Structure 1
Amino acid sequence: MPGAAARQRHILCMKWGNKYGPEYVNRLYAMVRRHLSGDFSFVCLTDDAVGIRSEVRCLPIPALDLPPGIPERGWTKLATFSADLHGLRGTALFLDVDVVVVGSLDELFTQPGDFLIIHDYKRPRRVTGNSSVYRFELGAHPDVLEYFRSHVQEVRQRFRNEQAYLSDFLHRQGRLAYWPSGWCPSFKYHSIPRWPLNYWQPPAIPPGARIVIFHGECNPPDALAGRRNRRFRHIRPAAWVAEHWRE
């Protein structure tokens, strides 16, 4: 990515509703600070800034401006592709608030590519990416949001969620690229030992991991306590979460 070293770097996250408390944002900031060298700004797009540490710049989540009666739930991240996101300029690395950073993030800003996202875990032949971690130039892809707004019914019929639509849209433009395999592994698929080893071996950090993604069955505190939200899916406590998921 030419000129990346001279461009301002931003970490973006989103928190809305009451599913995640401010501690998720605070711990995400602390993990990034430990694992990203040099200067960066940390921005949380949120509807409630109470309890979020002062180093984090809290800004409103831009409205998707959808027609009346159409819910924004499941599509909110598309707001990051506004033509002018609160005047921010430079390179943005978006992180879900429930990820756990376990390695250096420096190369996530220097890895070549116009738009980078996690490749689908279960079906690698599909275009779809996982939007827990994606990088882009702020203001460079306003058509992502503009097309969604003007074709919202069509998009909602064709795609399950924003990451499926986003991946398809940028793939058709030849701009979609994926993070190197292993950088952003899934806790569910790559950390938990296969049955029956999961009964006596704890989940591990996959080799080469930078960011462990929590989706589907566990959040970081659940993994630390050895809990899953599906019956008969046993895991032992992942003690390494406490080492990384902290302020």
Structure 2
Amino acid sequence: MDNTVEQVNVLCIKWGDKYGSDYVNTLYSMVSRNLSRPFRFICLTDEAGGIRDEVEVKDIPKIGFKDFDEKHPWAKAHGWLKLTCFANPLYDLQGPTLFLDLDIVIVGSLDKFFEPEGDFLVIKEWDKSDATGNTSVFRFEAGAHEDALDYLKQDANKATADVRNEQEYITQFVDRQNKLKYWPEQWCRSFKRHCLRPFPFSFFQQPRIPEGAKVIIFHGKPHPDDALRGRSGKWYRKVLPTGWIAEYWR
């Protein structure tokens, strides 16, 4: 019997100066502690400086779409350049590929993210009643979903007319093909929605890690480094210094 465990890919993307190389390095460190199977860790980026040697650094792929290839302003907003990970081929990558946003904190094993069957698995967006997923954590087969890029290139105005961002676009696109599945809801939890205590408890109780959580998602503000220091980024949201972030986000 062949007991060889398939190697998988873990992928992230970084452009501009919103996140530095330290976010890539920390993400790699968290993955290496929380994934027991062999993996390649790849960062697509326009700035490789400072990224640790264990990370395979590759240019953000050219996909034959001028707005993306020349990084027009709209393509750099709202996550749109993440769609370049659906390039086919995506360098020499093959097989199961787990995409992770840079601004997450991994608090449990990632092994189970490679177990469910499906073409496209993603977080169910918490504040949407339609098919939209949150693409902070999603899995696909390298080289698949190139048709989503083709549709965008044919008529970008039409393709984006009814969506606000990259995650609405891609998850609604694959849902129309009946290829969309969601992670169990407890695996990926929102820091703002599920970790923060409700008012007034947020003023004297530290944010918690929800039971069963494997990844904490920091969408919008605060970022992990803000929450660690008790900075909420919003006047109306109280965030006490969150000590457990230091334990996991390293």
Once the two structures are superposed, the pairs formed by residues 159-174 of structure 1 within 5 Å of their partners are 159-174=163-178
Q: Which moved more, 1:146-155 or 1:165-174?
A: 146-155
Find the aligned partners of 2:73 and 2:32 in 1 and give their Cα distance. 38
The Cα of 1:65 is off from its aligned counterpart by 3.7
User: What is the root-mean-square deviation of aligned Cα atoms in Å?
Assistant: 1.4
Distance verdict in 2 for CA 1:230–1:70, change over 3 Å: closer
Find the aligned partners of 1:164 and 1:183 in 2 and give their Cα distance. 20
Find the aligned partners of 2:237 and 2:189 in 1 and give their Cα distance. 19
Q: Is the 8 A contact 2:10 2:100 kept in 1?
A: yes
Normalised to the residue count of structure 2, the TM-score between the two structures is 0.93
Q: Is the 8 A contact 1:183 1:208 kept in 2?
A: yes
Find the aligned partners of 1:85 and 1:184 in 2 and give their Cα distance. 26
The percent identity for this pair of structures is 47
Q: Paired residue for 2:93?
A: 88
Q: Paired residue for 2:232?
A: 228
Q: Paired residue for 1:11?
A: 10
The Cα of 1:83 is off from its aligned counterpart by 1.3
Question: Could you list the per-position Cα deviations for residues 154-195 of structure 1 after superposition, in whole angstroms to 9, with x for gaps in the alignment?
Answer: 122211111101111100100000010110100010000000
Q: Paired residue for 2:196?
A: 192
Find the aligned partners of 1:67 and 1:57 in 2 and give their Cα distance. 26
Secondary structure of the residue aligned to 1:117 is: strand
Question: Could you list the per-position Cα deviations for residues 77-125 of structure 1 after superposition, in whole angstroms to 9, with x for gaps in the alignment?
Answer: 11011110112111100000110000000000112222101001113x3
Find the aligned partners of 2:5 and 2:209 in 1 and give their Cα distance. 32
Normalised to the residue count of structure 1, the TM-score between the two structures is 0.94
Find the aligned partners of 2:37 and 2:11 in 1 and give their Cα distance. 16
How many residues get paired? 241
Distance verdict in 2 for CA 1:67–1:140, change over 3 Å: closer
Find the aligned partners of 2:5 and 2:149 in 1 and give their Cα distance. 27
Aligned pair partner of 1:179 in 179, 183, 186: 183
Secondary structure of the residue aligned to 1:237 is: coil
Once the two structures are superposed, the pairs formed by residues 38-187 of structure 1 within 5 Å of their partners are 38-67=37-66, 71-73=74-76, 74=78, 75-123=80-128, 125-187=129-191
Is 1:245 the counterpart of 2:249? The answer is: yes
The one-letter amino acid of 1:114's match is D
The one-letter amino acid of 1:16's match is W
The Cα of 1:67 is off from its aligned counterpart by 4.4
The one-letter amino acid of 2:170's match is L
Is 1:213 the counterpart of 2:212? The answer is: no
The Cα of 1:140 is off from its aligned counterpart by 1.8
Q: Paired residue for 2:19?
A: 20
Gaps of 5+ in 2: none
Secondary structure of the residue aligned to 1:38 is: coil
Find the aligned partners of 1:93 and 1:206 in 2 and give their Cα distance. 22
Find the aligned partners of 2:6 and 2:172 in 1 and give their Cα distance. 27
The one-letter amino acid of 1:190's match is H
The Cα of 1:232 is off from its aligned counterpart by 2.7
Find the aligned partners of 1:67 and 1:109 in 2 and give their Cα distance. 34
Find the aligned partners of 1:89 and 1:113 in 2 and give their Cα distance. 16
